[in-house]
Structure 1
Amino acid sequence: MADRFVTSWFLAPLKQSDAPLRKGLARVTGGEAYDNSLVDMDEYADMLADQYNELDKEGYDVVNVVPIESGQQVGATLGYSITQGAVVVGKRRD
């Protein structure tokens, strides 16, 4: 018998930026600039929909979505966090 509750998760990529890098808020990876303060929301939305559709196909209803946040401290007092992914909880249909 399958578990009554299941979880899955995802992390969306950071948004690639053509803008000049800002000290402390961006990093360079493989020659491409990614802004650590922006998530590719189109990709995030697609990944979330994929999780919903997969759970539905397997006979589960989504009952909770828990955001996964990441952040960075800049200097002694400034910091920020972004929602970069989610844990999706499904409950088996009986």
Structure 2
Amino acid sequence: MISKVTWNELKNILKKGSLIEGVIKKHEAYGVFVDIGYNFEGLIQITDFKDSGVMTPNEYPAIGEKVEAVVLGFKENNQQIWLGVKNSQIRAAKNNL
């Protein structure tokens, strides 16, 4: 079990560009929320699913499904973690391991 951490600790653990695993928790029209552990959720915006083409909410991974994602960035004021699952993002993260 992954313990709870502070926002600043989380940013030190999850570096931008790192590959992580999480579980889909909630669907919204603009993307999905992913439980990434540490008592935090990340957001995969609808534009960060596919390298080309248009993603639609009916194509979202199922709630409860495990996903591999890349940390794209952090939004300080809302303590948000932005994630991406585009094939190009995943490949780039794996090449940097």
Q: Which interval holds the TM-score relative to the shorter structure?
A: under 0.3
Identify, as 1 or 2, the structure richer in strand: 1
Q: TM-score, normalised by structure 1?
A: 0.21
**Greater C-alpha radius of gyration:** 1
Judging by fraction of residues, say which structure has more helix: 2
Q: Which is bigger in relative contact order (C-alpha 8 A, separation at least 6)?
A: 1
TM-score of the superposition, structure 2-length normalised? Answer: 0.21
